[in-house]
Structure 1
Amino acid sequence: MRVNYLGPLCGGISHPALEGYDLTYFTPSCYLVEVSDEAGVEGPVIEGDVLVVDESRVAQHADLVVVEREGLRLFNSHRIGGQIRLIPPMDRSGSFPARQSDIRGVVVRQARRYGL
């Protein structure tokens, strides 16, 4: 699922999905992405959701992670020992092995734009 980079998370950023959030809670290593329309409107992550991504966190089992693969994309991580397998959140086929260095960040917060 494709995500669009919105920029670093800082006190001056403005987005409708972030109203009511205390942005000082997040570390300087966080940035924002918005889920593209290819996500559809069913499931735990839908189009228009804004995700706070921490690029300093190490991916663990069952994390949502952002990976640069033909643009920025969202995957579920499946960790087995020291190895990570990335699984597309919508279409479970097409998983692939990855290294921690392939991951651009771990999703730490999800905000829904219109409160759906």
Structure 2
Amino acid sequence: MRVNYLGPALLGLDHPALENLDAWRLPPSCYLVEVSEEAGVDGEIIEGDVLVVDEARPVQHGDLVVVVIDEAYQLFQGHRIGGAVRLLPASGGQGMTARTDHCRGVVVHRARSALVG
């Protein structure tokens, strides 16, 4: 599923993703992405969710992982297999295998607008 890059998660940034989070505790390696409309409104992750992604955190088994494919940010469920990661689309479908250095970060926080479900 596609996500849209919003920018770095900076202290003092007024954004719903940082509302219930101590933003001062976030490392400078964190950035924000917003889940695109292709996610729909059914499921654990829905259109409009904002995710805090830490690009310095190593991928572990079961993490939500952001990967750049053809210059587009995509969200996958990661399954660690030795030095590689099996990436399954967060919305279901065929997966692929990638090296951990292809991953652009691990989701560490999810926020949903109060206007949504």
Question: TM-score w.r.t. structure 1 length?
Answer: 0.91
Partner Cα distance (1:104, 1:83) in 2: 14
Residue deviations 1:55-97 (CA, integer Å, cap 9, x gap): 001101110000001300000001122221111011232x111
Give aligned-pair identity as a percent. Answer: 57
* Unmatched segments (≥5 aa) in structure 2: none
1:89 aligns to what? 90
Partner Cα distance (1:38, 1:85) in 2: 22
Partner Cα distance (2:73, 2:59) in 1: 16
Aligned residues: 115
CA RMSD of aligned residues (A): 1.4
Does 2:103 match 1:103? yes
Is the contact made by 2:17 and 2:52 (CA closer than 8 Å) also made in structure 1? no
Is the contact made by 2:58 and 2:106 (CA closer than 8 Å) also made in structure 1? yes
Question: TM-score w.r.t. structure 2 length?
Answer: 0.91
Moved over 3 A (4+): none
2:81 aligns to what? 80
Letter in 2 for 1:87: L
